[in-house]
Amino acid sequence: QVQLVESGGGLVQAGGSLRLSCAASEGTFSTYAMGWFRQAPGKEREFVAGITWRGGSTHSADSVKGRFTISRDDAKNTVYLQMNSLKPEDTAVYYCAARRSFTLGISSDQYEYAYWGQGTQVTVSS
């Protein structure tokens, strides 16, 4: 069972940037499609971005398209979320998640993901 640990969250002013990292414990990380989700206080968890297990395709939510970029480095068992032009409405706990090994495609449905990290807080001040 893969374990995921997020890092890189923090407090940033509007318009600033952060890069989140999610490190996986398993050497088979390259076989997992990965996703980033976020949950703001009082709101449901929502999909942010996903990447296929070979990294050939990515997909982002409309709310972050053009500002956030997901990428992966399989040699480091790590997936990243580069966040630029941050807005106060991006404030949330950000989670990385993994689908089961060799699952094809990207899903925005959180229930399609089998493994989750503990989350990292991102706060954007106005």
pLDDT in tens, 102-119: 888 899 999 999 999 999
- Backbone φ, ψ for residue 96 (5° rounding): -100, 155
CA distance to 2, 9, 113, per residue, from 65 (Å): 28, 19, 21
- Backbone φ, ψ for residue 112 (5° rounding): -85, -5
**Angstrom distance (rounded) from CA 61 to CA 63:** 5
Which pair of tokens denotes residue 64? 């972050």
- For residue 54, what pLDDT is reported? 80
Percent of the chain with pLDDT over 90: 87
Contact 92, 40 (CB under 8 A): yes
Tens digit of pLDDT for each residue in 25-69? 977 888 999 999 999 999 999 999 999 988 789 999 999 999 999
Average pLDDT, the chain: 95
